[in-house]
Amino acid sequence: MTDGPDFTPREAWSRFVDRKRVETTEQSAEAYFYRLRLFVEWCEDEQIERVDELTGWHFAEYETARRGRDISILTLDKEMGTLRRFIEYLERIEAVEDGLAEKVPEVRVPRDAKSSDTKLDVSAANRLLNHYRSHGRGTRGHAFLELAWHTGARLGALRALDRHDFYPDEQYIEFRHRPESDTPLKNKTEGERVVGLTPEVVDAVQEYIDGDRWDKRDEHGREPLLSSRQGRPGINTIRRMSYQVTLPCNYGECPHGQEIAECDYREPNHESKCPSSRSPHRIRTGSISWQLDCGIPIEIVSERANVARRTLEHHYDKTSPRERMERRRRHHLEKLSFDFEP
């Protein structure tokens, strides 16, 4: 027992999620909501009436129950991580005993399971960009792919861009957190940054603005960069665009043996089913690996893509151990020579 507030699991869950709605994006808060709802319902089934009744045994039993639902190891890892943060919050407000969060089971996830290898690889990105620079130049899809690949930005950050966030003369684009007008960044003000662009990217985006871009404002009076007929496109529209522009048959023959004219994957809303098309997140993972392999220091890539260095190393750097060794050797091995002069 504690001397803190006396909450039921459902009351504590509601307070925690309300707090997260203030601290994080709505999308992240919804993830907390749904993951913890499962735990709250389990507590109620087990007749746990107050959170100060919780013990390490309860957490172990809950983990066993979730494993019995045949969920993926990654899903279980996320659920246990969210539960741990929930219990840490309850510790801070003295609703449970200190140290209880440490009793939430750690899920052992193989490193190779934490990262999917379905990134957009460099060769595919190169062929796609060469295609659009010669055949689909200045379209919205072309501008999207140039920005997504060269910045490694998240879907929400790309959607949030306004026309005036693009600075062609200075050759950069600025990502800004504007939650009051429905375009928050995942990491809020810490996600704000200026990202440099190459001349080729600048030219492609400028041609899109001068030609194919819809001159529309959103409901807040802002001018979206990747605009639609209605103003600012929704998240799903941007995601669908990503699948459309990464179809491999855009630049060559179908690698899956389909006749292009008869391919079902080219039908509206079917592009995501193509094994070779990629979501914005997979463009992001491919971009980050590519930037690292180009020799850009990891701290610079971390800033450009707005991702913590540790997260970048574990989840986004898809290069093999040998490739990482070659990258380090290429830039630093000469320093180990007695003839090296700094």
pLDDT at 76 over 70: yes
Scanning 135-197, the segments in alpha helix (DSSP H) are: 140-151, 155-160
Of the ranges 38-42, 249-253, 307-311, the best mean pLDDT one: 38-42
Closest among 7, 32, 6 to 18, alpha carbons compared: 32
What share of the chain has pLDDT > 90, as a percent? Answer: 61
Give the C-alpha separation, 95 to 51, whole Å: 7
pLDDT at 331 over 70: no
pLDDT at 24 over 80: no
Cα distances from 206 to residues 196, 216, 217, 232, in angstroms, run 15, 16, 18, 18
pLDDT at 112 over 60: no
Q: Report the topology of domain 122-287.
A: hpI Integrase; Chain A (1.10.443)
pLDDT at 162 over 90: yes
Residue with token string 């630049």 = 251
Specify the pLDDT at position 53: 95
Question: 40-59 burial, b for 16+ CB within 10 Å, e for fewer?
Answer: bebbeeeebebbbebeeebb
Give the C-alpha separation, 294 to 291, whole Å: 5
**Which has more confidence, 339 or 306?**
306
What is the arithmetic mean of pLDDT over 243-264?
79
Of the ranges 114-118, 142-146, 335-339, the best mean pLDDT one: 142-146
Q: Which residue ranges does the chain devote to CATH 1.10.150.130?
A: 9-111
Residue 151 confidence class, pLDDT cut points 50, 70, 90: very high
Give the C-alpha separation, 81 to 39, whole Å: 12
* Residue 329: both structure tokens together: 């050797």
Could you report the per-residue pLDDT of 265-311, keeping only the tens digit for each?
Answer: 777 777 888 888 899 999 999 999 888 888 788 889 999 999 998 87
* Cβ atoms of residues 222 and 179 within 8 Å: no
What is the arithmetic mean of pLDDT over 205-219?
95
Give the C-alpha separation, 281 to 293, whole Å: 18
Specify the pLDDT at position 41: 96
Residue 181 confidence class, pLDDT cut points 50, 70, 90: very high
What is the arithmetic mean of pLDDT over 27-37?
86
- The answer as to CATH 1.10.150.130 being correct for domain 9-111 is yes
pLDDT at 189 over 60: yes
- Give the neighbor-by-neighbor strand order of the sheet with 172-175: 166-167, 172-175, 193-196
Specify the pLDDT at position 271: 83
The least confident of 119-128, 268-277, 324-333 is 324-333
Residue 116 confidence class, pLDDT cut points 50, 70, 90: very low
Residue 111 confidence class, pLDDT cut points 50, 70, 90: low
Give the C-alpha separation, 258 to 279, whole Å: 21
Strand partners for 224: 162
Mean pLDDT, the chain, whole residue set: 87
The least confident of 152-166, 222-236, 273-287 is 273-287
Q: What is the dihedral of CA 197, 198, 204, 205, to 10 degrees?
A: 10
- The amino acid that residue 259 corresponds to is E
In the chain the first and final C-alpha atoms are separated, in Å, by: 63
Q: Which residue ranges does the chain devote to CATH 1.10.443.10?
A: 122-287
Residue 115 confidence class, pLDDT cut points 50, 70, 90: very low
Give the C-alpha separation, 77 to 40, whole Å: 17
Residue with token string 């007008």 = 181
The least confident of 42-56, 97-111, 112-126, 214-228 is 112-126
